[in-house]
Structure 1
């Protein structure tokens, strides 16, 4: 395998230095990799190695995550309000700063509410969606997830509930719970996640975002309507033993995007950690079909359906 060089840069977005990883030829199809909680762009390192010889991959860290700036939260008197709407604002500015006009978006965990906000604002940017344990349906919320999404600012005990999940034990469990072969999952992922969670000021950032998560659930109907209206090419990859986002949430996408392709994987939430050898070829095939269909359309010829639902 020809492993590509990954570059590590920062770009200013409205006064916030956003760190990002980039690899692959810039004239190739672009994938924007949007990370989840409690991780950052480092969760995509192995995927970038696997696909960067063929595709242009970009993975940013949100404000308050990874190596990006972490401005003091407004709840502590600082200048930055940590909501999912604000994260989407910064990611929108990030795309503009890098001149990203058309891309396949990889939506994982927090990447789903960030990515769907981008899609709703700029449907012309979205060439396709890779949705990996990124929920947009109430049927996909486990009892544990429902309890977390019910938290609100000012509710007694809400902040303590969030603090209880910012521990190494819980971070590790997010990687290992549901894994078919836990020994295949390297400890570096959760170790680095915990390093960033433990940095000064980061706990309040995660509290603010957790207490804002209900805003995502309120937007589910709008995102579902967007999917029905735009019918983007969609590849759905789901760790079926995810304790947070249930298999029902994966299958629900097929009602709104009947042409979507669904693959249920025998793993948990961080499916890439265990199933990269399965996931990487599926993404490559998906991207190739998108571009083959686009080429066929330009030539005025027909092309087979992009994807079909898998049981």
Structure 2
């Protein structure tokens, strides 16, 4: 079945999303929450691989991809989660698993705390929720504050083509296996009017996520959702220690480490798709 592509109005945000329509009406649902600086297009190949058997839904957040937001939209992780929560309500998702990657983790964990009975399981891919997973580069980034005159310059350095390409290639086994299409499209969206300012606002808000780590860990311990933790060990921001830390609160979680970078799907799509398919299959049979 082909993937469909739609826009929906969410409180003034024209939100774009992709959705697969499997043949089974009761197929397990996986909400795909993308990272920085990308959008739902990062999941295109995964959706092609699994879309016949599972309902995969991937929105673009405000400030990302094909979604457009009002000029006065306030970019924080709370408001991104507000929009995704309203989107879930608007399309009638009552029960779903979540794939949380990078920025998708703080968005997804906020949603999980608000709607805990709807979350059937978690696929975590380089989505950090533990301080031991923060590399020195990540700690330095999180420490940036607006009052520091050099902070915005440091953030803008990440929003260049060189910075975007580096996020895709750092830590990979074979950079020549990574298509340039992903970072080129990401940079196209980053260069649109107002997009860099949105990313700067989110960068300055990132510390709010680290402050919530203890609450998210408590949610994991209390709710014990079935979980599959997938991690590219060459990630320059989130180390594999952050992947292993999930097992403290989710001792029954499955952990898979891949010799690749932050965007693990780029090099290891086949293996990851197989793991996710098996995981969703078990969820659907329970």
Q: TM-score range by the shorter chain?
A: over 0.9
In 2: Cα distance, 1:193 partner to 1:125 partner = 31
Higher relative contact order (CA 8 A, sep 6+): 2
1:1-311 aligned at under 5 Å gives the runs 4-25=1-22, 26-72=25-71, 79-292=72-285, 294=286
In 1: Cα distance, 2:122 partner to 2:199 partner = 26
Unaligned runs of 5+ in 1: 73-78, 295-311
Q: CA deviation at 1:155?
A: 2.5
Q: Is contact 1:70-1:202 (8 Å) kept?
A: no
Q: CA deviation at 1:290?
A: 1.6
Paired residues in the alignment total: 284
Q: For 1:80-124, what per-residue CA distance to the aligned partner results, in whole angstroms no more than 9, with x for missing partners?
A: 110000000000000000001111100000000000000011111
Q: CA deviation at 1:125?
A: 1.2
Q: Is contact 1:167-1:194 (8 Å) kept?
A: yes
Q: For 1:134-159, what per-residue CA distance to the aligned partner results, in whole angstroms no more than 9, with x for missing partners?
A: 00011000000000111123232211
The residue number in structure 2 matching 1:301 is: none
Q: CA deviation at 1:27?
A: 3.0
In 2: Cα distance, 1:172 partner to 1:88 partner = 27
Q: Is contact 1:238-1:263 (8 Å) kept?
A: yes
Structure 1 stretches of at least 4 aligned residues deviating more than 4 Å after TM superposition: none
The residue number in structure 2 matching 1:306 is: none
Q: CA deviation at 1:41?
A: 0.3
Q: Is contact 2:233-2:257 (8 Å) kept?
A: yes
Question: 3-state SS of the aligned residue for 1:31?
Answer: strand
Unaligned runs of 5+ in 2: none
Question: 3-state SS of the aligned residue for 2:205?
Answer: coil
In 2: Cα distance, 1:118 partner to 1:155 partner = 31
The residue number in structure 2 matching 1:304 is: none
In 2: Cα distance, 1:85 partner to 1:152 partner = 18
Q: For 1:146-178, what per-residue CA distance to the aligned partner results, in whole angstroms no more than 9, with x for missing partners?
A: 001111232322111111110101101111111
In 1: Cα distance, 2:165 partner to 2:264 partner = 14
Q: Is contact 1:240-1:266 (8 Å) kept?
A: yes
Question: 3-state SS of the aligned residue for 1:211?
Answer: helix
The residue number in structure 2 matching 1:309 is: none
In 1: Cα distance, 2:100 partner to 2:141 partner = 20
In 2: Cα distance, 1:233 partner to 1:155 partner = 42
Q: Which has the larger radius of gyration?
A: 1
In 2: Cα distance, 1:257 partner to 1:288 partner = 20
In 1: Cα distance, 2:168 partner to 2:48 partner = 20
Question: 3-state SS of the aligned residue for 1:164?
Answer: helix
Q: For 1:45-99, what per-residue CA distance to the aligned partner results, in whole angstroms no more than 9, with x for missing partners?
A: 0000000010001000000100001332xxxxxx211000000000000000000
Q: Is contact 1:254-1:260 (8 Å) kept?
A: yes
Q: Is contact 2:81-2:107 (8 Å) kept?
A: yes
